[in-house]
Amino acid sequence: MRPTQQGQVARLEPVPELVLFDLDNTLCDYAGARLARTRYAFEPHFAQIDRLEIAIDAAMQHPTDGDEHFAEVLAAHGVTDPADVDAVRSRYIEDRYRGLKLFDDALRVVDAVSRVAKVGMITNGPADIQRPKIELLCIEAHFPVIVISGEAGVWKPDPAIFRIALELLSVIPERAVYVGDSPEHDVPGAHAAGMRAVWINRTRMPWPGGRAPDAEIHELLELLPLVSAERGL
């Protein structure tokens, strides 16, 4: 099967019997929520909006979504008092799900796919963070199987976590597809498990290298013609 390029989509063959979804930045806008949380945490310590925006932008450049880099970022922008840094961290942690929401097309796509294939979810993260997130988003009922790395004891890109979902849903890897946003965890993990991988690339970044995804989409709605065959999705 020829991978798609530059957002062009073509039906996956064979048509999948199972479509597994990532959660963060695939179904829900975790990046947007992280930005909202960072702004909420930083705001009390910056009188000037331009300095606040620069500090927030610097914090968002770090790949981690934790608060380990806050002291360094804050110090570089004039906030050096340890008590203030601790206050920022506390404010960031206390409102963990601020701004978290599903992408507008998420449930529409999941429900449409579920009419023609089995669906499930595989998500990295501690169970005490991911389970409340799933409850907050009111999506548990849409997925017969949800595998959380903190519960399973294995994390993407380990193919073992994908195999857990495949076994629970009784589908062989060759008839399954994984949809996720991460070139480091989602695409290589699915391929290692013998599955096909659809990369949702909302920011339209270039593929960083390694085995390419079987398809690239820029919004979830573009998944529907990939998996629909002649079944009218």
State the alpha helices, DSSP H only, in the chain. Answer: 30-42, 49-60, 70-76, 82-94, 106-114, 127-137, 149-152, 159-169, 186-192, 224-227
pLDDT score at 63? 83
pLDDT of residue 226: 94
pLDDT, mean over the chain: 93
In terms of Cα–Cα distance, which of 181, 210, 214, 233 is closest to 14?
214
Confidence (pLDDT) at 233? 54
Q: What are phi and psi for residue 149, nearest 5 degrees?
A: -60, -40
How are strands ordered across the β-sheet holding 215-217?
Answer: 146-148, 118-123, 18-21, 176-180, 196-200, 215-217
Region 8-16 average pLDDT: 78
Best CA proximity match to 24, nearest among 92, 152, 125, 112: 125
CB 55 within 8 A of CB 42: yes
pLDDT confidence tier of residue 95, bands split at 50, 70 and 90: confident
pLDDT tens sequence across 136-151: 999 999 999 999 999 9
Other Cβ atoms closer than 10 A to 80 = 11
The Cα angle at residue 114 between residues 112 and 119, in degrees rounded to 5: 130
Residue percentage of the chain with pLDDT more than 90: 88
* Cα angle 107-113-114, degrees, rounded to a multiple of 5: 85
Maximal CA-CA distance, the chain: 63
Q: Examine residue 157 and say whether the peptide bond preceding it is cis (omega within 30 degrees of 0).
A: yes
The pLDDT of residue 3 is 43
> What is the Cα–Cα distance from 206 to 92, expressed in whole angstroms?
31
Question: Which DSSP symbol is given to 166?
Answer: H
Over residues 199-225, the mean pLDDT reads 96
Q: What is the mean pLDDT of residues 64-72?
A: 91
Confidence of residue 228 (pLDDT cuts 50, 70, 90): confident
- Supply the DSSP symbol for 26: T
Q: Is it the case that residue 101 has pLDDT exceeding 70?
A: yes
Q: What is the pLDDT of residue 9?
A: 52
- Which pLDDT score is estimated for 66? 87
Query: Between 207 and 66, whose confidence is greater?
Result: 207
Q: Which residues contact 43 (CB under 8 A, 6 or more apart)?
A: 52
Quote the pLDDT of residue 11. 77
pLDDT of residue 229: 60
Task: Compute the distance between CA of residue 1 and CA of residue 102 in angstroms, rounded to an integer.
Answer: 31
